[in-house]
Chains A and B, each alone.
Chain A
Amino acid sequence: MRIDCKHVWEHISAYIDGEIDPVLRADIDKHLETCEICSAVLDSTRNVVVLIADDRVFDLPAGLSERLHKRLDEEMSAGPPRESLTE
């Protein structure tokens, strides 16, 4: 089946995640062979997904983990989880 660009854009996210019906995937692949615009949209969307997954983009604030575990130690010294349940 011939599909248009807008149709391809609607499925780009599912296409990237590999969560797409094989028939539709084949139609999209066929479209991508000849449509430079859609292959560019696909590549750049995939780039975004790859780039934001990089742990260095989002870092925990310095010392957050240490402060958290220190507070938990204080909490834990109050007793085992069940006994300190107050809610």
Chain B
Amino acid sequence: MEFAFASAIGVLTAAGVYLLLRSRSFDVILGLTLLSYATNLLIFSSGRLVTGKPPVLRPGVDPILANFTDPLPQALVLTAIVISFAMTAVILVLAMRGRSDNRVDHVDGNEPKDRDR
């Protein structure tokens, strides 16, 4: 399980970074989305991988770590998901405005010279 988790994060990160380094705004946004998946999973994994023990207290069950998984990384990731949604919206709009105002969708706001392409 640990191997699967680590490798998934690795692949997500690698793909995310590669797309992040592209020159087109939409590719960069896709890369950021993948990267935020990877980051959320990374933070999540700091609570270790536990199945079938959601951190919702039940009557008659002692509130100890043996019975429930770590709730703190979950709380962190929950807000991270929502915030990354907000940031995605902002950069999408920036990309749209960039395209509309500069007539290109290059992240630098203008098309580089041919010899640099």
Tell whether A and B belong to one assembly: no
Residues of chain A having any CB pair with chain B under 8 Å = none
**B contact set with A: CB distance below 8 Å:** none
